[in-house]
Amino acid sequence: MSEQQEDWKRCVEFHGHTCPGLAIGYRIALAAQKHLQAQFSPDEEIVCVTENDSCSVDAIQVLTGCSIGKGNLIYRDTGKQAFSFYSRKDGRKVRLFFKMQGKRGSQADRDAFQEKILNAPDEELFTFTEPADLPPSKARLFTSIVCEECGEAAPEHKIRLHQGKKVCLGCFPDYSRGW
């Protein structure tokens, strides 16, 4: 089995099944690694900002080492199949947008679309641009504060004051004026 077949197999095992979304993430990760001249990120050497929470993100985690837990996978919900990658080692960066559209019809349509994704040239699949944003800062550690309502600890930047009490976001009442 080739290295790429082995990588695809690891992605499928992590995700649980094959699908076009996983194939997108697999190809995005490979293209980003090639563009950044980087491999798996054991710490925060590579950062990914994902603009969606689709199946594709699982392949990116497996192949790049970017994860929410390490702080080098940042989720910014635009709903787009777009991913910005930054190398902290040498400043390289790239934003990849998946530009192909597939049919949402039968399983045969999905299978054919997945095969096209897995085998098409990068230029047919993605637009490559420079990210508009600076690389995200490294993950920080925060002091934990105990919520005076539920008794659970939360990091200080997620604590609010409500009627003079320190409360977590879950206990902080939503304030909306109907807009």
Condensed to tens digits (0 to 9), the pLDDT of residues 91-148 reads 999 999 999 887 677 888 899 999 999 999 999 999 999 998 888 888 888 999 999 9
Number of H helices, E strands in the chain: 5, 9
Tell me the fold of 3-129: 60s Ribosomal Protein L30; Chain: A; (3.30.1330)
Which is more confidently placed, 1 or 155?
A: 155
Domain extent listing, the chain: 3-129, 141-179
Q: What is the CATH number of domain 141-179?
A: 3.30.60
Tell me what pLDDT residue 77 has.
94
* Residue 9 confidence (pLDDT) above 70: yes
Q: Is the pLDDT of residue 13 over 90?
A: yes
R_g over Cα of the chain: 20
The per-residue b/e assignment along 107-127, b for 16 or more CB within 10 angstroms, e otherwise, is: eeebeebbeebbeeeeeebbe
Give Dmax (Cα) for the chain.
62
